[in-house]
Amino acid sequence: MSIKHLFPLTIVSLLACGGGGGGATIANGTLSLKLGSDSTSSYSKVYASLQKVEYKSSGTSTWSTLAEVETTYDLLALQNGNSATLASATSLKPGTYSFRLTWAGENYAYPSKYPGFLQRADNSTEYRMTLPTTTSVSGTVDVAEGSLTTAEILFSGNQIAQKHASLSVPYTFQATAQVLDLANCARILGQATSGSTPLEGAEVFAETVDGSGLATVQRRALTDSNGQFVMEGLPIGKIYYLASQPGTATLAYGAVSTSPITASSATDFSANLSFTSSMAPGSLDVSVTPISTSSQGTWVELRETLATATGVYKTLVVRSQTVDTETAKDTTSFTGLLPSTYGIMVQRSTSGGDASASTGNEELVETGATTTAVVAYTD
């Protein structure tokens, strides 16, 4: 699926110089670059205005313009297998390339609105969001002589934006981005259902589990009106588990997971999630101290031990939400939880770096009640 641009892109072709002195000419490669995003359950819309995409080759410090984008995107419209084209069939010298995004000071789609704004999942108010000047994209892409490389810049859903109550503009765009060569990535496609009914809006997590049993979310997506989901940008050579625990204000489903999916090649894999048990929900309010600084992103994960095969169990992330940074504590509220016991883990990243985690107590959530938990974060 593809998201149509609100404004056309201007693509800059970068031509290789021919060799001198009668030497052999090195043919260029070709790069197509897309933009996508994870889901987040904290916000329903996140608009960001992108001015341009820049690149530099390995061993150099000079950034050059790859594409003048001048487009305002709702990043959450770019999740679940959707994407936008940033550069199409652009000629590049063979090499290894890094990328960065330069954000705009104007809104290309809605001129009367701010360049960045968002809407929370729990109300319909639009809030101004501060954009950084640039976002450095982690990872690199190799472009080979005479080849076509298709790559995608994907935003992480863990910390797309965060509220810092002490700032004059409380909401800050904090998304981290990674570029991936799609020739080295698999996709997982599936459907979430309850009986024969598709479940819309269920957040599905694709996770890896390390040797110590710690699960890490790699990608996440919200199911569409047909209950379907697409997980893309999953590096091959890894084993993935899918997990989800859908819920509403009146009904919660028990968390389920899939059997392990070995992504052995850059192809599509299928995995469905079937939910059977449901009950009236409870909720869980989590507070974290100390508060996040303005350069930190913090999110809270709920974990449950689930069967992934006969007699095999893994502790997996079933819910994940970004916190609000208030005056004295970070807070988030999980609603639509099936009555059960949940493990709490707090993840915090500084300036888009690797996150470090603190584990809270296990908390029992009961029907019709709100459980409160406090986690002291230590890095």
The one-digit pLDDT tens for each residue of the chain (379 residues) are 444 444 443 333 433 444 445 566 889 999 999 999 999 999 999 999 999 999 999 999 999 999 999 999 999 999 999 999 999 999 999 999 999 999 999 999 999 999 999 999 989 999 999 999 999 999 999 999 999 999 999 999 988 999 999 999 999 999 899 999 999 999 999 999 999 999 999 999 999 999 999 999 999 999 999 999 999 999 999 999 999 999 999 999 999 999 999 999 999 999 999 998 789 999 999 999 999 999 999 999 999 999 999 999 999 999 999 999 999 999 999 999 999 999 999 999 998 889 999 999 999 999 999 999 999 999 7
- Rounded CA-CA distance 260/190 in Å is 14
Helix (H, G, I), strand (E, B) or coil at 76: helix
Altogether, the residues listed in the chain come to a count of 379
Q: Which residue has the tokens 């149509």?
A: 4
Helix (H, G, I), strand (E, B) or coil at 352: coil
Residues 6+ apart with CB under 8 A from 207: 215, 216, 217, 218, 240, 241, 242, 243, 316, 317
- Rounded CA-CA distance 283/193 in Å is 23
- Rounded CA-CA distance 229/79 in Å is 9
- Rounded CA-CA distance 60/210 in Å is 35
- Rounded CA-CA distance 342/368 in Å is 16
Query: What tokens does 232 get?
Result: 């893309």
- Rounded CA-CA distance 26/194 in Å is 56
Q: pTM value?
A: 0.92
- Rounded CA-CA distance 154/77 in Å is 13
Please state the separation of Cα 356 from the chain's center in Å: 17
Position 58, amino acid: S
Q: Do residues 182 and 150 lie in contact, with contact meaning Cβ atoms separated by under 8 Å? A: yes
- Rounded CA-CA distance 254/207 in Å is 18
Query: What tokens does 59 get?
Result: 């061993």
DSSP 8-state assignment for residue 161 = E
Contacts 24+ apart (CB under 8 A), 226-229: 226/191, 226/198, 226/200, 227/191, 227/192, 227/193, 227/197, 227/198, 227/199, 227/200, 227/202, 228/80, 228/189, 228/190, 228/191, 228/198, 229/80, 229/81, 229/189, 229/190, 229/191, 229/192, 229/202, 229/204
Environment class of 93 (CB within 10 Å of its CB; exposed 0-12, middle 13-18, buried 19+) = middle
- Rounded CA-CA distance 162/347 in Å is 13
Q: Do residues 75 and 42 lie in contact, with contact meaning Cβ atoms separated by under 8 Å? A: no
